[in-house]
Amino acid sequence: MDGALAPHILGMVGAISENEYEKYKEKGYLQTDSIGKNGIEKAMEEYLRGTDGVKRTTKDDDGNITTEYVKEPEQGHTIILTIDKNLQKVANEALAKRIAELKAEQPDHPFCGAAVVIDVHTGEVLAAVSNPTYDISTYSKNYDELSKAENAPLWNRAMMSAYEPGSTMKPGIAITGLEEGVFNANTTYYCGGRGGYQRYRELKLGCSTGTHRNISVVHAIEISCNNFFFEAGYQIGIEKMNEYSRKFGLGQPTGIEIAEETGTLATPEYAESIGTPWRPGDTVQYAIGQSYNLFTPLQIANYAATIANGGTRYETHLVKSIKSYDYSKTVLEKEPVVSANLNISKSTIDLVHEGMRRVGDGTGFCARSFSKIKNGVKAAAKTGTSQVKRKINGQWQNDYNAVLITYAPVNDPEIAIGIVIESGDTGVDCAPVAAEIYNQYFSGSESAMDLPQEGNTLLQ
């Protein structure tokens, strides 16, 4: 049993608190009971718990004691998770390995991160890892150390941390502009390089990947041209960008069974709520994943899955089915639930898929790492970088987060991945993690995880 495999997902049980007892006593809970505290243990408490039995003990005149059940106890159910334990293991190891490599290059930076893998046709979460992590089997013994540890290993970054998406926002903006007829495959916007976006000179906006002159949408996705997307955002407008972003599930609940952060979708209303006016420059910066946008790795993975499958966003879920304790009956079989259908035209999807394909192939940003994907599998991607303020060596400094969305195979996508590495430079830093995940998934090995009634144990 590997207690470090999925602690943030499984969660744990603990002694019932006074508040929990008051809430659950009418359901038969006793003050001496244990209860799910977080993760699946908490979310599926009603199925995992079972029912206490009632014993009657009698003593006859000769002093003989007889005990019998007046009511037989009932075992709790078994939760079958969508998590592929082999994929989860590889994702854990690949993310830890990559973070260790980056840490070796910059020891003073507090590298950590998360990765989420989603089935693009169902919304099933096949893997969700957070780094640093911990071993749930020694949680109680090590709690004091864990609670004070650097980079908060108890925190579920995959579902509870929200990050600026950076340029991973661009495919969604491209879809918005194309679908709304703001531009088409042949439309070009001018890129004058760094400091080359002219509408808001005072903001000194420009392109960090080169001077591209007149550039169209597919090439702009491929080389991540900021100036194209600044102008795209200006032409589209904030209302339409927000409309599509909501449909993609950005800054929205995903439907996952366990605790998740909703994140923030940048809107004029949000700016007003924090006492800041919405400025024209916010609209154009929104289009490259800046402004107030903050999304979880789970959200960006599901956004990638929606692009991959052509525009259907599914509710994400971790529970595949619920079985009786002896597996003789199926209590619940989870069916895919559609949260939104964007009805994206094939011509639009083809253009965006082509731009993302180029990121993962040829001379694209992720090509070097993705060339290591086996079995002839090709992956599409979009990299992102977001600037943040972070305390390094006791001083607040400018730092970056690396963000990546990706899906594969490019011609018939099956899975999508969202990865964030805090203190990473660009999404390219995440690409080796994705490559290892793809190699495991496309190796043909598959294994579901069962959470038995007693909890905190994985059945092999």
Residue pair 191/173 in contact (Cβ under 8 Å)? The answer is: no
Distance CA 183, CA 216 (A): 9
Residues of the chain with pLDDT under 50: 453-460
Mean pLDDT of the chain: 91
Q: Which two tokens stand for residue 121?
A: 């046709």
Indicate the pTM of the whole model. 0.93
Residue with tokens 């995940």: 437
Distance CA 460, CA 457 (A): 9
Q: What is the pLDDT of residue 456?
A: 37
Rounded to the nearest 5°, which phi and psi values hold at 190? -90, 135
pLDDT in tens, 306-326: 999 999 999 999 999 999 888
Q: Which two tokens stand for residue 7?
A: 């602690």
pLDDT in tens, 86-111: 999 999 999 999 999 999 999 999 99
